[in-house]
Amino acid sequence: MSYVIKKEVPSFEQFAALHEASGLHKSKKGNYTKEQLFEAAANSWFRVGIYDNEQLIAFGRMISDGIYQALICDVMVDPSYQNKGLGKQIIQELLTKCQESGIESIQLFAAKGKHHFYKKLGFQEREEDAPGMSLVM
């Protein structure tokens, strides 16, 4: 099946529907509205969506300084389209953008239970003596 890749902000309705269908909305910390999550996606340095006809079926985004650091966020695939390589395709598009920009340091936060997916794509867990850290306020 042939899908269309678009490197633009999807419509709010499509983004919110995919966010909900993928379960990503439920995993978010805090009480962010769908509108706020959409604004975060719109404000991202780079984003990519995959469409079946005009329906958004996969999406991912990055925040970056555009020079040497990037953080992959919100990679999601509609459950009815999973296991078809779309998540991998999203990651490849994001990594290509980093390569084109000369960015060598790419970080991500994996959803619970998804770290094996990212390991297959070459990502490595941080060393125990240099763990990533976070602060939730």
Give tens-digit pLDDT for 51-65.
999 999 999 999 999
> What is the Cα Rg of the chain in Å?
15
Q: How confident is the model at residue 72 (pLDDT cuts 50, 70, 90)?
A: very high
Residue holding tokens 């000369």?
102
Range in 86-95, 101-110, 125-134 the model is least confident about? 125-134
Catalytic residue check, 118 = yes
13, pLDDT greater than 60 = yes
Domains of the chain: 4-120 (3.40.630.30)
Average pLDDT rounded to a whole number, residues 130-135? 67
CB-CB contact of 9 with 47 (8 Å): yes
Give tens-digit pLDDT for 22-43.
887 666 556 788 899 999 999 9
Active-site hit among 32, 51, 68, 118: 118
Crossing angle, helix 34-42 and helix 12-22, to 10 degrees?
110
CB-CB contact of 68 with 103 (8 Å): yes
> What's the whole-model pTM score?
0.89
